[in-house]
């Protein structure tokens, strides 16, 4: 929701980045204030996941220009784990499997690490078990997932739910959900969206990366951005998503080029 006078959480200016020598982001601008929900849409390969991972600090991407400020500090100076502790959360498009590492053990370590960083009490295994089961109810997840290895053998949709479970546990300031909706069945989509809505409040912000308007019926965005070739080329309200759904992306690029020419 857009609140009057709310603080800027994330401010990205002219972000450029390379991976293996190829330029992927080419001057990306984005401002996110607390309380807001943003959707980023755009064709395959336009750089949405790249942008998400750069915000989270993935070392494979080299930032070659621009700035990223998060709550007034230079996000690019922080190590990935420091960003996470500061409240940046990324729900991965493809959550990785970690065989041998118990999900509950992993969840407790991440929860306690972040809590400690916030000057809060850690939970012992029993307390944590109660806590996490409560959160799992929100997402209608079976407690059986606690006994398994992190994401190992989880179905696509189960992995996505496990991501949102972590979001619910860690209570981030800025949550970036990279195609959390893809791979979810109709019921799961509703449940996960419901969970996300319950987590959204006036002090945090959510950036949804998605290809489908469908998700935005459940989680209603304040802004919809179109990304193409490493840049945000159009920003609108939630209606823009409907327009994209019916017309595709081509016209946005055409329009963008026309305005670029006109202002040149």
Partner 1 sequence: MSATLQNLVNQPYKHGFVTSIESDVAPKGLNEDTIRMISAKKKEPEWLLEFRLKSYEAWLKMEEPAWPNVHYPKIDFQAISYYAAPKQKPKLKSMDEVDPELLRTFEKLGVPLHERMALAGVAVDVIFDSVSVATTYKHKLAEVGIIFCSMSEAVLDHPELVKKYLGTVIPPSDNFYAALNSAVFTDGSFCYIPKGVKCPMDLSTYFRINTEESGQFERTMIIAEEGSSVSYLEGCTAPAFSSNQLHAAVVELVALDNADIKYSTVQNWYAGDENGVGGIYNFVTKRGLAKGVNSRISWTQVETGSAITWKYPSCVLLGDNSVGEFYSVAVTNHYQQADTGTKMIHIGKNTRSTIVSKGISAGHSNNSYRGLVKIAPSATGARNYSQCDSMLVGHQSGAHTFPYIQVANNSSQVEHEASTSKIGEDQLFYFAQRGINAEAAVSMIINGFCKDVFQQLPMEFAVEATALLSFKLEGSVG
Ligand X SMILES: Nc1ncnc2c1ncn2[C@@H]1O[C@H](COP(=O)(O)OP(=O)(O)OP(=O)(O)O)[C@@H](O)[C@H]1O
Query: Strand pairing partners for 234?
Result: 226
Tokens of 21: 């020598």
Residue of 49, 103, 104, 166 that binds Mg ion (CB under 5 A): 49
| Least distance CB 189 / ligand X (angstroms) | 18
Separation between Cα atoms, residue 227 and residue 146, nearest integer Å: 37
Query: Per-residue x/- marks for ligand X, 45-64, CB under 6 A?
Result: xxxxxx---------x----
With CB under 5 to 8 Å by kind, the binding choice for 96 among ligand X, partner 1, Mg ion, none is partner 1
| Residue 154 contacts partner 1 per CB under 8 A | no
Q: Which stretch binds partner 1 (CB under 8 A): 4-12, 57-65, 190-198, 236-244?
A: 57-65
Tokens of 253: 């690029």
Q: CA nearest 11: which of 35, 37, 29, 34?
A: 29
Q: CA nearest 14: which of 53, 69, 60?
A: 69
Separation between Cα atoms, residue 105 and residue 146, nearest integer Å: 8
Separation between Cα atoms, residue 196 and residue 180, nearest integer Å: 11
Inter-residue contact 181 to 215 (CB < 8 Å): yes
| Residue 105 contacts partner 1 per CB under 8 A | yes
With CB under 5 to 8 Å by kind, the binding choice for 212 among ligand X, partner 1, Mg ion, none is none
With CB under 5 to 8 Å by kind, the binding choice for 41 among ligand X, partner 1, Mg ion, none is none
| Least distance CB 15 / ligand X (angstroms) | 13
Tokens of 35: 């309380």
Task: Give phi and psi for 64, each to the nearest 5.
Answer: -110, -10
Query: Per-residue x/- marks for ligand X, 85-124, CB under 6 A?
Result: --------x-------------------------------
Residue of 47, 95, 195, 230 that binds partner 1 (CB under 8 A): 95
Which stretches within 101-155 are classed as H helix? 103-117, 125-138
Q: CA nearest 54: which of 39, 65, 44, 43?
A: 65
DSSP state of 173: S
Separation between Cα atoms, residue 162 and residue 177, nearest integer Å: 12
| Residue 19 contacts ligand X per CB under 6 A | yes
How big is the site for partner 1, counted in residues (CB under 8 A)? 32
Helix 125-138 vs helix 103-117: crossing angle, to nearest 10: 100
Q: Which stretch binds ligand X (CB under 6 A): 42-50, 105-113, 125-133, 212-220?
A: 42-50
Query: Segment 117-136, which members bind partner 1 (CB under 8 A)?
Result: 117
| Residue 99 contacts partner 1 per CB under 8 A | yes
| Least distance CB 94 / partner 1 (angstroms) | 9
Q: Which residues bind partner 1 (CB under 8 A)?
A: 53, 56-60, 79-81, 83-85, 89-90, 92, 95-96, 98-102, 105-106, 109-110, 113-114, 117, 149, 166, 170
């Amino acid at each position: 929701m857009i609140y009057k006078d709310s603080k800027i959480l994330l401010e990205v200016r002219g972000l450029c980045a390379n991976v293996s020598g190829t330029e992927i982001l080419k001057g990306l601008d984005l401002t996110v204030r607390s309380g807001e929900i943003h959707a980023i849409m755009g064709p395959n390969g336009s750089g949405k996941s790249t942008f998400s991972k750069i915000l989270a600090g993935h070392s494979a991407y080299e930032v070659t220009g621009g700035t990223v400020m998060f709550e007034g500090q230079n996000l690019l100076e922080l190590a990935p784990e420091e960003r996470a502790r500061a409240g940046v959360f990324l729900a991965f498009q493809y959550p990785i499997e970690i065989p041998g590492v118990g999900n509950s053990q992993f969840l407790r370590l991440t929860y306690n690490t972040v809590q400690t960083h916030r000057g809060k009490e850690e939970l012992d295994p029993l307390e944590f078990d109660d806590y996490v089961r409560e959160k799992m109810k929100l997402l209608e997840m079976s407690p059986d997932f606690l006994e398994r290895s992190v994401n190992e053998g989880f179905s696509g949709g189960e992995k996505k739910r496990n991501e949102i479970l972590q979001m619910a546990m860690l209570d981030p300031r800025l949550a970036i959900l990279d195609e959390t909706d893809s791979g979810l069945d109709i019921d799961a989509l509703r449940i996960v969206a419901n969970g996300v809505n319950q987590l959204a409040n006036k002090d945090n912000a959510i950036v949804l990366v998605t290809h489908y308007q469908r998700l935005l019926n459940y989680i209603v965005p304040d802004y919809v951005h179109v990304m193409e070739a490493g840049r945000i080329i159009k920003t609108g309200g939630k209606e823009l998503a409907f327009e994209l759904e019916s017309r595709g992306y081509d016209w946005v690029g055409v329009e963008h080029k026309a305005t670029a020419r006109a202002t040149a």
